[in-house]
Amino acid sequence: MHPRPDDNRIKIAPSILSADLSRLAEQVREVEAAGADRIHFDVMDGRFVPNITFGPVLAKWLRPATPLPIEAHLMIASPDDFLDAFAEAGADTLIVHVEGATHLNRTIQRIKALGLKAGVALNPATPAVMLEEILPDLDLVLAMTVNPGFGGQSFLPGTLKKIRAIRRMIDEVRPDCELEVDGGIDAETAPQVVEAGARVLVAGSSIYGAADGPAAGMDRLARSLGL
């Protein structure tokens, strides 16, 4: 089910943060049919970020609704306390913020011991160099292209330079590690982040907020990338 890590194809990860959660299964099937590669699941606790969303209970309901991998983006203050719960709920990848993890190495080792893929996210103001020691252990780096907490924010163009820096680090140290971006990704910004080196694009409002529906939103993204 997982794509090969060395697969250089551009992948799209719709974020259900912007979906109609009253019909979650249907909304997920729509992006699945339109070629989504994985489902991005934004967990917020009202402490690490100024918003609250959902947690392991909803992940458990999502799990049987799709064969696609589920990646949980943990925007929470104490990620260590919830790793096991997300594993039990059926998540495939857990992404923790470098800014929210005190013992990041231990957290990453725990995610791997649970048999899951491990990712680290960086806020826009956090420099790429924060990855230096942990990168050899990672399956994924998530560069935030907005400040986390809400869907529908504008892409921060200043993050492009960091995406390039992370791409260089990954190519040098751990070429199998995926480079994902999250926030304000639409048909205009997608080509810019891909040019900078991103290979996995999270998109919420440009897919689920599309007036003509999520499949049309996915199609616009794909066409902007010549896919």
Binding residues for ligand DX5, per CB under 6 A?
15, 17-18, 40, 42, 73, 146, 148-153, 182-185, 202-206
Residues 46, 49, 55, 58, CA torsion sign: positive
Q: Which of 37, 42, 92, 186 is catalytic?
A: 42
Minimum distance between the CB of residue 186 and ligand DX5, rounded to whole angstroms? 8
* Partner interacting with residue 205 (select from Zn ion, ligand DX5, none; CB below 5-8 Å by kind): ligand DX5
Residues 118, 124, 125, 131, CA torsion sign: positive
* Partner interacting with residue 71 (select from Zn ion, ligand DX5, none; CB below 5-8 Å by kind): none
The interface with Zn ion within residues 49-78 (CB under 5 A) comprises: 73
User: 12 or 203, CB closer to ligand DX5?
Assistant: 203
CB 59, CB 88: distance < 8 Å = no
Does the annotation count 139 as an active-site position? no
Q: Which DSSP state fits 214? A: H
User: 71 or 139, CB closer to ligand DX5?
Assistant: 71
Q: Contacting Zn ion (CB under 5 A), which of 139, 182, 186, 219?
A: 182
Which residues, 6 or more positions from 4, have their beta carbon under 8 angstroms from its beta carbon?
none
- 4 alpha-carbon distance from chain centroid: 17
The token pair at 59 is 């992940």
Does the annotation count 42 as an active-site position? yes
Residue type, 100: G
Residues acting as catalytic residues: 42, 182
